[in-house]
Amino acid sequence: MDKIIVIDYGSQYNELIVRRLRDLNVESYLCPSTFSYEDALKINDLKGIILSGGFDSVSSSSLSFNKDLLKLNVPILGICYGMELLSHFLNGQINKAKNSEYGRSLINVDNSSPIFKNLPSSFNAWMSHSDSVTFDNNEDIKIIATNKNKEVVGFSYKNSIYGLLFHPEVNNTDFSKEIFLNFIDICGAKRDFIMDNFVETKIKEIREEVKDKKVILGLSGGVDSAVCALLLHKAIGDNLIPVFIDHGLNRKYEKEELEERFVKKLHLNVVIKDFSQVFLERLNGVTDPETKRKIIGKTFIDCFKKVADEYKDIDFLAQGTLYTDIVESGKGGISKVIKSHHNVGGLPKDLNFKLIEPLKTLYKDQVREVGKILGLDKEFLYRQPFPGPGLGIRIIGEITKEKLDILREADYILRSEVKNNHLTNDIWQYFCVLTNLKSVGVMGDNRTYCYALAIRCVTSIDGMTADFYKMDYDILGKIANRIVNEVKGINRVLYDVTSKPPSTIEYE
């Protein structure tokens, strides 16, 4: 698939450039500012380069343009700081602008230039700069956009290098999509980044890389590892060893659903290993949330290693790492952070396997699309997030088998009622938490002294912030009623009405 890469000079809008290109079906990702000619040669079908904006001024920044990249003979578009870098390289002068420009501003453009093809001669563009650019006479350089003060906000050089001082990637710029489409045309890039092609290409790449070797993968029950497993299974069949470590901290029917979906329907040879006793023993008496998390993480790794040791001829470890995992684990472009993140998903760094991460260039919605192509059902693909440490961080205080069973039953009732009342699309995450508060109640003629259970339902976009879900009182009442009647050990139900921040979504 043809690619246009984005070199990262630190602008807050960088991910938007990548997203714009992908939405127009061109494969793209961020590369660090140290990206070299040799790095570029390793990328198949590289059709164009975009230099991003940045927070610095060219005169004071150490981030520069690697002019060897010109030897690639692919079109280059510099945006804001990226334009300044190109201007500097082409002997333009960068000065402090008399008037810095921030926000929407009317610009005039030369719409005979390919980058402004089919656009009107003036429109609004999003500015965020404090420098200005001037060029001495240079017949190869054309000024193709100016602002209301007649200052240069766009130039082209020999119809293969373009600079725009404004941000075409931002929605506030008119004709944002058209400008990117024009650049894609200039690059001659095929818009073939569609998920069917992605699946086909990846399968081919995986086969070439893995050959007849074996690959182990931790199937967590989440979407990413599931899609990764299916892609590998399609490529190498039963040379994939998907391992499900049952830590005993899962929701009711989790293991059964996994078997039904992956083993019976999708024919994966999942190795299911029950380590719940090991987890319970190691968590015995532990109450501190961070210690619990550490124990669960470490025990998971130990158990995974144990299973891996049973197979003698494994060469690769596959992980469902996503593009956002990479970006979040360290800004600065895809190639720079690839090495530092490979315990994303909680797997060990020191397993002596080569790492294979076929989804690492995809966003979550694209992973779901791939999952759909590979036969995963919608209910699974759009399920609510579930944390790696499972119910272990939803039991306040010590974790016991008895508490896990109580929580599992209550949580199952909540999930069933959310589904029955068609609320799954309205609530981003919904679950129960077993508090360590016991209180007095009365059932029949008897006094009870049981746990209070908290229900947490939130709306959110990405889990970074959240608000509590305003659930209908009748539905809430019914859920509470069912829980206290059907689950032995709970005599009180509380509804959490805090947002994040100041609370978090999970309790531990």
Q: Tell me which residues in 427-456 interact with ligand XMP (CB under 6 A).
A: 429
CB closer to ligand XMP out of 146 and 460: 460
* Beta bridge partners of residue 7, listed in sequence order: 31, 51
Total binding residues for ligand XMP by CB under 6 A?
10
Distance CA 500, CA 465 (A): 5
Structure tokens at 225: 């590892």
Instruction: Find the binder of ligand XMP among 289, 332, 388, 441 (CB under 6 A).
Output: 388
Choose, by CB under 6 A, the member of 154, 320, 387, 489 that binds ligand XMP: 387
500 binds ligand XMP (CB under 6 A): yes
Q: Note whether 299 binds ligand XMP by CB under 6 A.
A: no
Quick check: helix, strand or coil at residue 96? Answer: strand
167 is catalytic: yes
Mark the segment that binds ligand XMP (CB under 6 A) among 122-130, 144-152, 189-197, 498-506. Answer: 498-506
The whole-angstrom separation of Cα 391 and Cα 407 is: 8
Catalytic residue among 15, 27, 31, 80: 80
The binder of ligand XMP chosen from 114, 289, 332, 385 (CB under 6 A): 385
139 is catalytic: no
CB atoms inside a 10 Å sphere around CB 140: 11
| 273 belongs to the binding site for ligand XMP (CB under 6 A) | no
CA distance 380 to 25: 25
Pairing of strands 76-79, 161-164: parallel
Q: How far is the CB of 496 from ligand XMP (least distance, A)?
A: 12
CB of 244 to ligand XMP, least distance (A): 16
Intra-chain end-to-end CA distance of the chain, in Å:
43
**HSE toward the beta carbon, residue 135, CA cutoff 13 A:** 23
Nearer to ligand XMP, 337 or 466 (CB): 466
Minimum CB distance to ligand XMP, residue 327 (Å): 16
| Residue 462: DSSP 8-state | S
- Nearest to ligand XMP of 346, 397 (CB atom): 346
The residue among 426 and 506 lying less far from ligand XMP, judged by its C-beta, is: 506
- Location of structure tokens 């610095």: 56
Interior/surface letters 257-270, b for 16+ CB within 10 angstroms, e for the rest: ebeebbeeebebeb
Nearer to ligand XMP, 442 or 464 (CB): 464
**390 counts as binding ligand XMP under rule CB under 6 A:** no
Closest to ligand XMP by CB, 185 or 506? 506
**Judged by CB under 6 A, does residue 114 bind ligand XMP?**
no
At closest approach, how far in Å is the CB of 456 from ligand XMP? 10
Q: State how far the Cα of 317 lies from the Cα of 243, in Å rounded to an integer.
A: 11
- Classify the C-alpha dihedral 330-333-336-339 as positive or negative: positive
Q: Which of 450, 351, 432, 352 is nearest to 396 (CA)?
A: 432
Is residue 506 part of the contact set for ligand XMP (CB under 6 A)?
Answer: yes
Q: Does 505 bind ligand XMP (CB under 6 A)?
A: yes
Check binding of 463 to ligand XMP (CB under 6 A).
Answer: yes
- Indicate the SS3 state at residue 66: coil
Q: Which of 31, 84, 129, 167 is catalytic?
A: 167
Of the candidates 354, 352, 357, 379, the one whose C-alpha atom is nearest the C-alpha of residue 368 is 379
Stretch that binds ligand XMP, among 88-96, 107-115, 191-199, 383-391 (CB under 6 A): 383-391
Report residue 369 as tokens. 């699309």
Q: Pick from 248, 389, 392, 489: which binds ligand XMP (CB under 6 A)?
A: 389
Distance CA 117, CA 295 (A): 59
- Provide the 3-class DSSP secondary structure of residue 384: coil
Where does this chain touch ligand XMP (CB under 6 A) — which range of 319-327, 446-454, 484-492, 499-507? Answer: 499-507
Using rule CB under 6 A, residue 32 touches ligand XMP:
no
Q: 10 Å Cβ neighbour count for 278?
A: 16
The three-state DSSP-derived secondary structure of 121-134 is CEEEEEEEEEEEEE
Residue whose CB is less far from ligand XMP, 441 or 463: 463
Place of tokens 């140290």: 34
179-238 binders of ligand XMP (CB under 6 A): none
Establish if 28 lies at the interface with ligand XMP (CB under 6 A): no
- Choose one: 4-12, 74-82, 118-126, 380-388; the region binding ligand XMP (CB under 6 A): 380-388
Measured distance CA(387)–CA(445) in Å, rounded = 40
Q: Which of 101, 169, 417, 508 is catalytic?
A: 169
Q: DSSP letters of 395-453? A: B-S---HHHHHHHHHHHHHHHHHHHHTT-TTT-SEEEEEEEEEEEEEEETTEEEEEEEE
Comparing CB distances to ligand XMP, the nearer of 75 and 387 is: 387
- Between 385 and 397, CB nearer to ligand XMP: 385
Q: How far is the CB of 412 from ligand XMP (least distance, A)?
A: 18
Is 342 a catalytic site residue?
no
Q: What DSSP designation does 176 have?
A: H
Interface with ligand XMP by CB under 6 A: which residues? 385, 387-389, 429, 463, 500, 504-506
What residues are annotated to the active site?
80, 167, 169
